[in-house]
Chains A and B, each alone.
Chain A
Amino acid sequence: MKLLGYRLEKRVEVSPLWQFLSALLALAIAFAVSAVLIAFAGANVGEAFLAMARGSVGSTSAFAETIVQATPLILTGLAVTVAFRGRLWNIGAEGQFFAGAMAVFWASAILPNLPALAMGMWVFSAAILAGSIWGAIPAFLKARFGSNEVIVTVMMNFIIHFILSYLLSGPWQDPASSFLQTAKFPATANFSRLITGTRIHLGLGIALVTAVVVWFLLWKTTLGYEIRAYGINALASKFKGIPPMRTIILTLAISGAIAGLAGASEVTGLHGRLRLDISTGYGFTGIIVALLGRLHPVGVILAAIVMGALVNGSLAMQITSGVPIAMAFVIRGVVLVALLTVEVLAQYRIRRHIDG
C-alpha cells in the first residue's frame, strides 16, 4: 500500500512494547465509548468518571476492593491463557469455576472435622480435581470425536448451572433457610483473612502463586512447550511426535483446574457458602483478561486489576450517578473488539517509501 511517499509494511514480529501499547490503546478506546454510554444513560460524564476513579483507585480501601474483584479474574484469566496458548478455546471457565466451588462444599461436608491446614489442602485439592474433570470432558470429546470444544464448553456451563440449582434447592440446601444456598462451611474452611481491614483473602496469594506456576509451566517445561507447539501448528506438532490427544486433554484439564481454584478461592475467601450468584461472569471476563494480558501471566495480572477496577468503579458509579453497573459488561466487549482491531494495526508499520 503506497500513499504520499509512505507505505504500510507488515511487521515480521510484534514487539512486546507494541503489544503493551496496543493494549493501552484498546483501553483508551473503551474509555471513549464508555463516555458515550454514560451520556446515553443521561448522566454527567465527568461526574461519572470521577465516581468511577474514586471507587476503584481513589483510596486504600477502594483499591483493596479492586484487588478483591481482580483476584478471581487473575485465576480465570490464567486458566484461559493456558488453553488459548494451545489454541484450545475453553469458553467453559465459568462452569469450571462452579465445579471448583461445588467441590469445596462437598469436600468440607464429608470431612468437616479436619484441622484448618489439612482442611485447606483438602478442599483446594478437591476443587482442582473437580475443575480439571469439568475441563477434561470437552477435551476428551474433542480429542476422541472431534467435537467442537467451544460449543461443548459453553454447554457444560449451562449443565453445571442446572446441577447446582438442583442441589441448592434440595440435597445441599441450608436446612435453616429457604434461600438457594448451602449452610456455612466449617470455620476451618474459611480463608477470608489475609490483610485485616480489607476483604482481600487467601485467594490473592493463590492467584499470584498460580501465575508463577503457569509461567513456569508454559515456558520452562516440556509440557508447556508441547502446549504452545500445538497452539502454533497442531499438525506440525503431531509430526514431531507430540501426541495430540494427550496434549488436548492435559491442556484443558490444567485450564479447568485453575478455573476451579478460582471458584474455591471465592467461596472460601468471600462467601463462606455456596450460592448461585458467586460469579458475575468471571469465566467470561477471564477470556478478555487473558487476551488483554497478551496470554502472559504478568499481563494477565495487570489486565485483571484493570478489569477489577472497572467492575468496582462501575459499582461506585451506579451508586453516585445512577449509570447501571451493566456498563461494565459493555466495556468488556468493547475492550475485546478494540484490542482485536488495534492488533491488526500493530502488525503494520509506516515506512518512508524509498524507491518510488
Chain B
Amino acid sequence: MVEFFQTAIIISVLAGMIRIATPLLFAALGELVTERSGVLNLGLEGMLQMGALVGFLVSFQSGNLWVGVLAAGLAGIILGLFMAWMVSTLKLDQVVSGLALNLLSGGITFYWFRVKFSSAGTQMPNIQIFKFGRIPVLSELPYVGEILFSQHWLTYFVFLGAPLVWYFLYKTRIGLQLRSTGENPRAVDMKGLSVTNHQYGALAFGGFMAGLGGSFLTVASAGMFLPEIQAGRGWIAIALVIFGNWVPWRIVVGAIFFGFIEALQLALQAHNVNLPHQLLLALPYILTIIALTAAAGRSREPLHLGFPYKRE
C-alpha cells in the first residue's frame, strides 16, 4: 500500500482523471445546452455509442483520425435532429423518445459493427490512436506539465469549450433565447421566436458534442470498438448535469470528480490492491446514484424541462 502513494502513480492517476473526464464532459456540456432549451435528452447513451462506432469506422477506413472525429460529430448531429423531430415537431413524450433513440442507435451500432467485422475473421481491427498533444514549454513543467499539458487535443478542446458554453448561454442573445425556451417557451413564442428552431439547434449541438465524446472512446482511448464501449457514460453525463445544477463550471467539477474515481479505480486494479475489481468497477455507478440523491432540490432546473410545448 505504501508504494501506491509514489509520486509517479499519483501523477498518472491525476492525468488519467483529466483524460477520463473528457468524454463525460463532452456529453454533459452538450446535454446542458439541450436541457436549457427545455428538452431532456435521454438518448445520450445511444449518441455516445454511435459516435464511438462512427469515429472508429471512419478513422479505420480513411486512415485519418480527425476525419473520424468529425464524422462522429456529424452522426451525433443527425441523431440530435432526429430526437428534435420526435420531441419538438411531433411533441412525443421526451422520456419514451429518449429511450427509443437509445434502443435504435444501440441496435444500429451493434448491427453495423457485426455486418462490417464479424465475417472478417476473429481478429478485431485496431487503429493507431491519437498521440498526446504536448503543449510546448508548459508540458515541461514539473508535475503540472504531465497532468494538464500532455493530454489529447480533444481534451483541451472540451475543457476550453466549457467557458465558451458558459459565455454562449449567459452572454449572447441566442443563449438567452435558448434559456428562455427552457424556462418559458410561451413567452418565446409570443415574441415571435421559434421554440422549435431553438430546440432543434440545441439538440444538434448536444448530438455533436456526444458524437465527439463517443469518438474519444475509440480514437483516443481504446483504439478499437466494442459494443457497449460507452458503458453508461451517457447516463452518468445526464446525472452530472443534474448534479451540477445546470451550471457549466459545476458540471466541469463533477466530470473531473468522476474522472478521478475511474482513474483511481484503474490504478488500484493495476497495482493489485486487494479488493475485488468488479466492486471497484461498480463504483462510478454507485456514486452516480449518490450524486443524484445529494442533488435533490436543485434549483436551477429549467422550469419547462421535459414537457413538450404546445400552443393552446
Contacts and interface: CB of A to CB of B under 8 A. Distances in A.
- Considering residues B90, B100, B105, which has the most beta carbons from chain A within 10 angstroms of its beta carbon? B100
Interface string B98-131: 0111111111101101110011000000000000
B289 A329 contact: no
A221 interface: no
Contact of A340 (B92, B110, B118, B276): B92
Nearest to B239: A151
A159 B42 CA distance: 20
Nearest to B46: A333
A294 B253 CA distance: 42
A336 B107 CA distance: 12
A300 interface: no
A245 B67 CA distance: 51
B289 A332 contact: no
B292 A333 contact: no
Contacts of B115: 40-42, 324
Interface in B221-238: 231-232, 235, 238
- The interface size bin for chain A is 35 or more
Contact of A330 (B91, B92, B104, B231): B104
B2 interface: no
B279 interface: yes
A141 interface: yes
A37 interface: yes
Contacts, number: 127
Contact of B100 (A91, A151, A337): A337
Interface in B259-312: 276, 278-279, 281-282, 285-286, 288-289, 292-293, 295-297
Nearest to A138: B289
Main secondary structure of the interface of A (DSSP, over half): helix
B107 A330 contact: yes
B232 A158 contact: yes
Nearest to A331: B107
B96 interface: yes
Contacts of B242: 148, 151
- Considering residues A154, A163, A336, which has the most beta carbons from chain B within 10 angstroms of its beta carbon? A154
A333 B293 contact: no
B97 interface: yes
A344 B90 contact: yes
A151 B288 contact: yes
B162 interface: no
B95 interface: yes
A147 B239 CA distance: 10
Contact of A145 (B100, B103, B282, B293): B293
A333 B103 contact: yes
B11 interface: no
Interface of A: 37, 40-42, 89, 91, 141, 145-148, 150-152, 154-156, 158-159, 162-163, 165-166, 169-170, 284, 287-288, 291, 322, 324, 326-327, 329-334, 336-337, 340-341, 343-344
Given A155-B232, A284-B103, 19 more contacts: A89-B99, A145-B293, A147-B296, A148-B238, A150-B42, A151-B238, A151-B292, A152-B289, A166-B278, A287-B103, A324-B111, A326-B110, A329-B103, A331-B107, A334-B107, A336-B99, A340-B100, A341-B86, A344-B92
13 contacts: A141-B293, A145-B296, A147-B293, A151-B292, A155-B285, A158-B232, A165-B278, A330-B104, A333-B106, A333-B108, A336-B96, A337-B104, A341-B90
